[in-house]
């Protein structure tokens, strides 16, 4: 049986361990909520957020955007609420686990002797949620009041295909009422000393290519088979994949977010060993950076299909076309406020295009600048991986960062369109 208590010196599964920072205890409590797909316990998360809102004396609004899918919003009203607000976005759901590959139960939030907290969601992204909350708790306790209103938004279903929670909510009238000027969302850990800041994302395309062909008996050399066309399609996609991989490996200027990744994820076809199938399908997961002309890229796919043979078609399960990026020009008031706060804290960071996908893309798509930032340096990237963990000292340092960063963003002077 997997252990359900802390490692040496730990305090078991109680809400608070002896001598533990209260913020860490709250973090571990939140990690124990099983908001895990395919059946996340969102009711537990809502009860948790209700309690936090009461403790912080902040109003909490709940909007059901889909059946049993609720977006919760805490609001810390600013001294000038007519100005555009600051959004602190996070999601409540986490991806499934393969428990047999974990050192500890993934939902008991075990803390080992080095202070590493093991649980699903430690990096993606329950840590950021609690860091937002605790930073605002500190600010309120210190008598601080923001000039701009600050919203803390907790979204469901970020981890399922399509990010339906945010995708649906940005079209909702309640979203418009938030009058958002700038948003912070999740980023990634960084094993080095610097932090990573994401100002854009790659577009996910999930594509299935259908290859029809001549059926027949498995003992014959049938011409024009589906498998021959399938091989050509696979070769075209994977040859392109190899070229992009070489670009990444041979250039010091490129990060993963700057190149297109291609991965073959599903192959379907056939009914029996001795029957040549009439159709075979292959599916790919593509992630395309905002520097790529998407129309030209689809034309390339069409050409690969044409070269592979007659009758080949394709369809998209996902095809995101938004290529908005957030300005990183120092003359931009939001970016300037972010950079200035980081400089004052002696924080070094690296700007990148996010290699995967977050809710930020839907925020940017409606014209709101968004930055992806999780204050986790000196931490291996383990989101969605086995034994996901975050060290408690890194976690606490992140609260310090947000305690400085949130007031800096909320203090950006009125912009020309707000006069």
Domain regions of the chain by residue span = 22-201+325-418, 203-289+291-319
What mean pLDDT do residues 239-260 have?
Answer: 92
Look at residue 72 and tell me whether its pLDDT is greater than 90: yes
- 110-111 β-sheet, strand order: 110-111, 116-118, 389-391
Of all residues in the chain, the percent with pLDDT exceeding 90 is: 89
Cα–Cα distance between 46 and 156 in angstroms, integer? 10
Look at residue 7 and tell me whether its pLDDT is greater than 70: no
Total count of residues recorded for the chain: 419
* pLDDT score, position 167: 87
* pLDDT score, position 165: 79
Look at residue 5 and tell me whether its pLDDT is greater than 60: no
Residue 182 three-state SS: strand
**Mean pLDDT across the chain:** 94
Domain 22-201+325-418 classified CATH 1.10.150.120? Answer: no
CA angle 402, 404, 405 (to 5 degrees): 60
Look at residue 333 and tell me whether its pLDDT is greater than 60: yes
Look at residue 287 and tell me whether its pLDDT is greater than 90: yes
Place of tokens 């059926």: 215
* pLDDT score, position 4: 41
Classified by CATH at the fold level, domain 203-289+291-319 comes out as Alpha-Beta Plaits (3.30.70)
| Tokens found for residue 103 | 């050192």
Supply the pTM of this predicted model.
Answer: 0.90
Place of tokens 């339906």: 164
* pLDDT score, position 190: 95
pLDDT tens, position by position, 185-215: 999 999 999 999 999 999 999 999 999 999 9
What mean pLDDT do residues 7-15 have?
Answer: 40
Q: Are 327 and 335 in contact (CB under 8 A)?
A: yes
| Beta-strand pair 195-201/349-354 | parallel
Cα–Cα distance between 287 and 258 in angstroms, integer? 10
Residues marked as catalytic: 93, 158
8 vs 103 pLDDT, higher one = 103
Look at residue 110 and tell me whether its pLDDT is greater than 80: yes
Look at residue 13 and tell me whether its pLDDT is greater than 60: no
* pLDDT score, position 419: 67
Q: Are 304 and 235 in contact (CB under 8 A)?
A: no
pLDDT tens, position by position, 373-414: 999 999 999 999 999 999 999 999 999 999 999 999 999 999
């Amino acid at each position: 049986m997997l252990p359900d208590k802390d490692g040496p010196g730990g305090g078991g599964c109680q809400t608070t361990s002896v001598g533990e920072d209260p913020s860490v205890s709250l973090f571990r409590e939140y990690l124990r909520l099983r908001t895990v797909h395919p059946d996340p316990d969102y009711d537990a998360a809502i009860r948790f957020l209700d309690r936090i809102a009461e403790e912080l004396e902040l109003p909490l609004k709940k909007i059901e955007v889909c059946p049993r899918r609720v977006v919760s919003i805490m609001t810390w009203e600013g001294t000038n609420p007519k100005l555009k607000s600051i959004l602190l976005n996070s999601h409540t759901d986490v991806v499934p686990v393969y428990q047999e590959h974990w050192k500890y139960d993934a939902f008991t939030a075990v803390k080992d002797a080095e202070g590493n907290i093991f649980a699903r969601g430690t990096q993606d992204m329950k840590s950021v949620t609690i860091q937002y909350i605790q930073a605002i708790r500190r600010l309120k306790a210190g008598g601080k009041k923001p000039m701009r209103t600050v919203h803390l938004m907790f979204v469901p279903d970020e981890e399922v295909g399509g990010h339906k929670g945010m995708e649906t909510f940005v079209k909702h009238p309640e979203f418009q009422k938030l009058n958002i000027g700038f948003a912070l969302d999740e980023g990634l850990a960084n094993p080095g000393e610097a932090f990573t800041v994401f100002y854009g994302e790659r577009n996910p395309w999930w594509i299935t290519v259908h290859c029809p062909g001549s059926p027949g008996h498995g003992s014959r050399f049938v011409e024009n088979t589906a498998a021959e066309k399938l091989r050509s399609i696979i070769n075209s996609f994977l040859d392109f994949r190899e070229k992009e991989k070489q670009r990444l490996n041979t250039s010091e200027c490129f990060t993963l977010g700057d190149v297109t990744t291609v991965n073959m994820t599903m192959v379907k076809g056939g009914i029996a060993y001795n029957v040549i199938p009439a159709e075979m399908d292959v599916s790919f997961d593509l992630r395309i950076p905002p520097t790529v002309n998407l129309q030209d890229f689809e034309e390339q796919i069409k050409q690969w299909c044409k070269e592979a043979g007659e009758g080949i078609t394709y369809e998209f399960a996902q095809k995101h076309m938004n290529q908005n990026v957030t300005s990183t020009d120092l003359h931009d008031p939001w970016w300037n406020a972010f950079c200035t706060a980081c400089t004052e804290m002696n924080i070094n960071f690296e700007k990148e295009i996010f290699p995967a996908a977050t809710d930020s893309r839907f925020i940017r798509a409606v014209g709101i600048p968004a930055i992806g930032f999780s204050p986790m340096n000196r931490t291996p990237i383990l989101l969605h991986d086995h034994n996901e963990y975050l060290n408690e000292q890194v976690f606490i340092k992140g609260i310090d960062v947000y305690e400085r960063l949130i007031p800096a963003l909320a203090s950006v002077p009125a912009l020309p369109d707000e006069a």
